[in-house]
Structure 1
Amino acid sequence: MSRLRLILGDQLNINHSWFRERGADAADIIYVLMEIRSETDYVVHHAQKVLGIFAAMRGFANALRAAGFHVHYIRLGDADNQHHFINNLRELVNRFGISAIERQQADEYRVESLLLGASSELGIPVSCVDSEHFLADREKIAKKYADKIPRMEFFYRELRKQYRILLDENNQPIGGQWNFDQENRNRWKGDPAIPEWYALSADLTDIWQEIQSCGVHTMGDAQAANFPWPITRAQAKAWLKHFVENGLPNFGEFQDAMTTQSPRLFHAGISFALNIKLLHPLEVIHAALAEYEAGRVSISTVEGFVRQILGWREFVRAVYWARMPHYAELNELQHHRRLPRWYWDADTKMNCLHHAISQSLDGAYAHHIQRLMVTGNFALLAGCAPDEVDAWYLGIYIDAFEWVEMPNTRGMSQYADGGLVGSKPYAGSASYINKMSDYCKGCHYNHKRRHGEGACPFNSLYWHFHVRHAQRLARNPRIGMTYKLWGKMSEQEQTLTLTQAEIYLKKLDNL
């Protein structure tokens, strides 16, 4: 073999142009995948995340072999595994007489930076090609948005026009408006019925035992004997089909709703398959559009779903590549507290947080409002350090890769970027959580109380957050009403509320 092609664990795209080469063109190519500790250990990952990626990688390698490609796969426990990309590549270059390495763009800055130095480290040419997955060109968006980041809405409209999505013959949005977000904010009250997710149950016990025997530290339940996530392209396609037929019709109306009765409601749960590239974003979008065109879903529903894929997913990637590595250091609000201990075990009397964190530990999943307005909201109000919040989100969710996690967390959730991603801090009191969920029912804390015995911590912390950041935030037109309401409270009410917040901030671990 003279050429080595490196495939990362989130590059399982069987439709990449690499795999259209056959015969003599592919005879001198060896494809390499590797399970390494430098990837399992940079944060504490959820057990299902490590297990799911390794299982998908092994399945992908087997599919390539079955198609006639030469594959070299390095397992976690292999004796000659040096657990580092460059060190493993050096050994393979010598073993197989490799004269050139080819790779796809890495999605995470830390990996891309490492691989950019591979040629000088190894002494042979290393070329890079596009991963052929995303809808916005990385080099173009990084250059275009180096100085100014647009609002997501305008970024989204540009891509709608570029790909001719939900446009009429006059290049105007179908339905008369670009965004139906206002119609997609209803609370779920028990009807319609919640559909089951597509049922999967792979036995990955052997792989999990390998991971454990190597001493990889994880969190959460592995569910190795009945692994619930798609790990092959066929499974991912079946999952997508099941969602658009069963979940999509009600996704739009209830996409912001939360309930103790289901961790998912009408959400798709396809982000893991998307982010390791078992699915392509355009096939997901077109599957949803087909349901709309067949009259089975409304324009507000399909637009809301398309906006998540074509708009938000691509937008946060644009922010990431336009502003890294400095973006990872931003802490606009100067928050420095540690995350409360119960983020790791869900042992809190706040029902909303107990439920959202429990389901995350059990299933490596929470939908976007649970992440933004429950776990993220509390960390924001409590003034937790963005580095701590980043590491937790990056670890606990099966779909979390830094390019998508960091702008969502450090930017949208924690406002640590000062408004590059979101135009205001997404801070909410118990009123919002009660409006959009049934979490407050039966909670130890009273969602109506700001202070006193049993007062919900979200309420006093909400006001404490706005008061301590008034100099920075009071002029923001999107939250001006908050400060007007605060000004209308009596001095005694203000004092009692802030005093209650200080009490809670001193005992965050025991709330």
Structure 2
Amino acid sequence: MAMTKIRLLLGDQLNLQHSWFHEVDDNHVYVLMEVRQETDYVLHHAQKILAIFAAMRDFAKQLRERGHKVHYVHINDATNLHAIPANLDALIETYQAREVEYQMPDEWRLDQQLYKHSRMSSIPWRMVDSEHFYTSRHQAADIFMGRKQWLMEFFYRQMRTQHQVLMDDKKPVGDQWNYDHDNRKPWRGTPAEPADVRTMHDHSALWDDIVNAGIASFGRPQEREFPWPLNREEALEQLNAFIQHGLPFFGDFQDAMSSKAWRLFHSLLSFALNVKMLNPREVVHRAETAFREGKVPLAAAEGFIRQILGWREYIRGVYWNFMPEYAEKNFFNHQRVLPSWFWNGETKMNCLSHAIGQSLEQAHAHHIQRLMVIGNFSLLAGLQPQAVHQWYLGVYIDAFEWVELPNTIGMSQFADGGLLATKPYVSSAAYIDKMSDYCKGCHYDKKQRIGEKACPFNALYWDFFERNKRLLAKNPRIGMAYRQIEKMDEKTIHDFKHQAQKILDNLDKL
């Protein structure tokens, strides 16, 4: 007698190319579920909930069209118990299943939950690989064994060599590993931002289901003109358009910010990658091929590939090696709550109003907006890193904990004390002005340090280094800041500290 096997698919495991789907077997029941457990563990952007549910529903449809047996639990089903283990137990009973299989979760909490529940089950459970990443969970730990600091560049070179990406035998193409210095140009309006070719969807019925289920969210849903990909086919169209129209200019302007163009030359592929509609190998291969065919500059291809083959895999390695303790790191013991304008973008600081407003509107911001505007301010103001992490995890459509948490806790907030980053990523108004048009027409003056109109970044920047002298003064990468403070007279130091305290006492009113 054939035995029924339940195969669980999580909302970020929408990989049609997985070996599970190579053959149709009537004894395999594929289970996807929309549960409050996943919508409610953090407050999510409306578009994030919509995008994942819509993509899950489309994935189930495609599996059925290929002949696979699918059991789909909708958010408003009367039998939905709204927790993955409870629903699985009910389905084991319904199907009289003899075995459960699930793909390796990418989040620690889900990995623990499923592992612990499997140990209590009366039938065998088996975890299989998600067949997505270049690396295993712990490959980065092996690479960094015995090293105090986990420098991404070291890891990235190993990946390039191992996978022969942008390599001429044992040497990097162009005899240089990293072209970061070529990729820091501000954007002044030319070349024009490419057209947004994403397919628009009407998800108003699904949005009604979400609202009627009582799920809390924030940000603009855009349910009638929803731009995020529904499936692999749409994600591939987006990839094609990026390689042709965005990648040639991506390198030059990857750090640029503009109030006139929120996408610029970014791919917006991270959502499709992180729910596994796309495989990182095919994305990297397309970028390398475009370079080798002479269609994009080396600096552009290398900068883009580094984000995927380097940074993405590296961050995952950090996550799996240091969780769960990593989530609680707070090197500076920062405890301030998030200002109210994190939830509505209503601040007189133009840069933060744009970066946060865009995040609420589009569920997306690029890495410099996340790191050097929102993250920069959060660190300078001493916001609690776990609160910052939860906001980032909720607001961005591509934010899954394995990739978002180390980026926020380590890279952005330096809360791990420098395991991941060699220095805190902070700046005064000067950097933001250099890389954007945000300072033009701002209520605050980018050049002033003291006074009602002084840009808050300026006094906060110097105050951050002054108050953290004991923790940071010996860091060789930030010696210049302390040398400048040493040259300041007592009144200057007193004035910027006083200005910073006034700002910190009135964060909601900035």
TM range (shorter): over 0.9
Matches within 5 A, 1:263-274: 263-274=262-273
What CA distance in whole angstroms lies between the structure 2 residues aligned with 1:72 and 1:139?
Answer: 33
**Comparing 12-21 and 139-148, the one that deviates more:** 139-148
Q: Counterpart of 2:477 in 1: which secondary structure?
A: coil
Match of residue 166 from structure 2: 166
What CA distance in whole angstroms lies between the structure 2 residues aligned with 1:509 and 1:269?
Answer: 31
- Unaligned runs of 5+ residues in structure 1 are none
C-alpha distance after superposition, 1:85-109 (max 9, x if no partner): 1100010000100010000000000
Q: Counterpart of 2:253 in 1: which secondary structure?
A: coil
Match of residue 282 from structure 1: 281
- Unaligned runs of 5+ residues in structure 2 are none
Match of residue 7 from structure 2: 5
1:141 maps to a residue whose letter is A
Contact conserved, 2:345 with 2:353, CA < 8 A, in 1?
yes
C-alpha distance after superposition, 1:279-300 (max 9, x if no partner): 0001111111121111111111
C-alpha distance after superposition, 1:313-346 (max 9, x if no partner): 1111000001000101110111000011100011
What CA distance in whole angstroms lies between the structure 1 residues aligned with 2:327 and 2:411?
Answer: 13
1:206 maps to a residue whose letter is A
What CA distance in whole angstroms lies between the structure 1 residues aligned with 2:285 and 2:265?
Answer: 18
2:18 maps to a residue whose letter is H
Contact conserved, 1:118 with 1:126, CA < 8 A, in 2?
no
2:17 to 15, 18, 21: 15
The TM-score with structure 1 as length reference comes to 0.98
What CA distance in whole angstroms lies between the structure 2 residues aligned with 1:97 and 1:43?
Answer: 34
Q: Using the TM superposition, give the Cα deviation of residue 189 of structure 1 relative to its aligned residue in structure 2, in angstroms.
A: 1.4
Indicate yes or no: 2:111 matched with 1:109. no
C-alpha distance after superposition, 1:99-148 (max 9, x if no partner): 10000000000001000012233321110011000111114335655764
1:259 maps to a residue whose letter is S
C-alpha distance after superposition, 1:397-438 (max 9, x if no partner): 000000000000001000001111111000111000001100
Q: Counterpart of 2:167 in 1: which secondary structure?
A: coil
Q: Counterpart of 1:102 in 2: which secondary structure?
A: strand
Moved runs in structure 1, 4+ residues, more than 6 A? none
1:392 maps to a residue whose letter is W
What CA distance in whole angstroms lies between the structure 2 residues aligned with 1:289 and 1:196?
Answer: 23
Match of residue 73 from structure 2: 74
Contact conserved, 2:198 with 2:234, CA < 8 A, in 1?
no
What CA distance in whole angstroms lies between the structure 2 residues aligned with 1:269 and 1:58?
Answer: 21
What CA distance in whole angstroms lies between the structure 1 residues aligned with 2:458 and 2:140?
Answer: 40
Q: Aligned pair count? A: 507
Contact conserved, 2:258 with 2:438, CA < 8 A, in 1?
yes
Taking only aligned residues, the RMSD between alpha carbons, in angstroms, comes to 1.1
Match of residue 176 from structure 2: 177
1:2 maps to a residue whose letter is T
C-alpha distance after superposition, 1:468-490 (max 9, x if no partner): 11111111111110111111222
The TM-score with structure 2 as length reference comes to 0.98
Match of residue 90 from structure 1: 89
> Residues 51 and 146 of structure 1: is their aligned pair in 2 closer, same or farther, counting only changes over 3 Å?
farther
What CA distance in whole angstroms lies between the structure 1 residues aligned with 2:306 and 2:36?
Answer: 36
Match of residue 117 from structure 2: 118
Matches within 5 A, 1:131-280: 131-142=130-141, 145=144, 148=147, 149-169=149-169, 171-280=170-279
Contact conserved, 2:143 with 2:155, CA < 8 A, in 1?
no
Match of residue 325 from structure 2: 326
Match of residue 446 from structure 2: 447
What CA distance in whole angstroms lies between the structure 2 residues aligned with 1:432 and 1:341?
Answer: 25
Contact conserved, 2:138 with 2:317, CA < 8 A, in 1?
no
Indicate yes or no: 2:413 matched with 1:379. no
**Comparing 131-140 and 205-214, the one that deviates more:** 131-140
What CA distance in whole angstroms lies between the structure 2 residues aligned with 1:109 and 1:359?
Answer: 29
Match of residue 471 from structure 2: 472
Q: Counterpart of 2:417 in 1: which secondary structure?
A: coil
Match of residue 417 from structure 1: 416
What CA distance in whole angstroms lies between the structure 1 residues aligned with 2:240 and 2:377?
Answer: 35
What CA distance in whole angstroms lies between the structure 2 residues aligned with 1:462 and 1:372?
Answer: 15
C-alpha distance after superposition, 1:133-179 (max 9, x if no partner): 0111114335655764530001001110111001113x100011100
What CA distance in whole angstroms lies between the structure 2 residues aligned with 1:114 and 1:272?
Answer: 24
C-alpha distance after superposition, 1:184-240 (max 9, x if no partner): 111111211111222321111111100000000000111111101111100000000
Contact conserved, 1:86 with 1:121, CA < 8 A, in 2?
no
What CA distance in whole angstroms lies between the structure 2 residues aligned with 1:389 and 1:264?
Answer: 23
Q: Counterpart of 1:203 in 2: which secondary structure?
A: coil
